Chain A
């Protein structure tokens, strides 16, 4: 279950593989060709089109986009809130993973199931779900709609599973012997946690944090109904890109999108390095 959604070991293609690999034969060359053609038509060429469109105006296209006060406010809000939510996830996600692996109580399986709901739920529905508890007719009397807190709330909702699901399997596979050895050598509980458990889970926490940051900066659907997308206040980068598209200004949309793509690529690279480290420890 734990790796159902975000198996952290699934990316470790470069890891040592059992069994020899075959070089390409006629049939598989054809397969590779078809797969690559589809991948190019679907992903690579369209993403290249964004970069090309943004580059059409040279550097000043980017500079204009970045210095536009409204876009800059959106970037600041998105990055700031994403960092905040990632911080929350690092703490809460690790804590939840710990509870799910090390604790036993009635309802643990339910808790484990609920963690996956944000991943499977349509994003627009996620916004509406949060609105029904934290919106204008809130049974709690808390109304966050159209405030910055609504952005925090929505991002925390959609990124909830990431750290939990990357830390959980690592914690589950942690060798009990090592902890017992530490304890038998006189280490206190805190020392064992700090010196044995923590170093083992840190790469997984970092990988989860990277995933949750990447998801948070690109979030759109859950914010539509919740945040009101007020310029300078609750407008995130994705909404800004969409309003450029709807306004017919594809160059500015592409420039802003290129910046987001760059961040996404950086996160992917960081993840790749982290996954290797996780794999080496495992």
Chain B
């Protein structure tokens, strides 16, 4: 038995160890089930999972990657909070201090920034995966809606965090972003006023964005993530091709049996995971799921660390309301939106995004096709997949245009002939 395992096994058999870890290192199938159910952190997952759910080629582990990125962001974010002050006088200097003077300041700030960008990217990838595998269909409609909510929260977290360094990049990206928000009819200007705590991007905006970024949005996100994972359990685990039809168990409560101890399980209504239906498909979460999860965590850590060590997060000049860079660009995930807005503030900035988000939320309820769940690019879903792909490609194209092909005054530039963003000399 490998040494670390032997050490751990010894520890979990001591009195102190037993008081903390009620089940030690599992050695029997019973213990493998027990350790999942009796552990606070692990009981979010079931004792047994379908082997299909373990296939990396199916889910690509995208949801888990998002969870890990979120965890990294929370840890690095809290560390950064020990230095950062949301003051227009101090914030920028503190960013400089993090880079030059604080031990590991640069690497931790970089980790935070790159994990944030990765999270926005992966939330889009995860949404695509769930769509292409039809995993939003019944009974998982509401979980998809929660997912859309989490998508918007992720964008909100990234956007609010973007302002905090208070450099030119931050200031003008948020100026552009809040202006786009202001285009919404009726509520737009009010929303912008509420977000900024005034009419300009200044100290009030910084304070509010900070409050949103460190407590309001993360709490909302944690709450939604909890529900999201809960629903995964309640909807029968990850979607897969050979799921049985929904089984609604109605328990007639004429008389509560007094001799069983299932407790809540008897009273709960709705679908329950069909454990035990196809025993050869079910495997113990410990170790099959848990070990894969550990590996994925190490991979995510390695990638984030690698990016953080070798590439620095940007920090431009101190925010200067008098000197906008030309062009002033929103964060990359809003550049497609900014491109649309350049054609029409109302149609591009309000109608199209508004319709998109609404369509996303209503999608599972509009989709009548019951088949095609649990497989990538199922033939039966060709129409839906095509429509989605077209929208995706357009969104990517708009973003690419906004990033590479737009220069001063939002005019056309050819990126290999001329740098797309030109800031003024002073």
A interacts with B: no
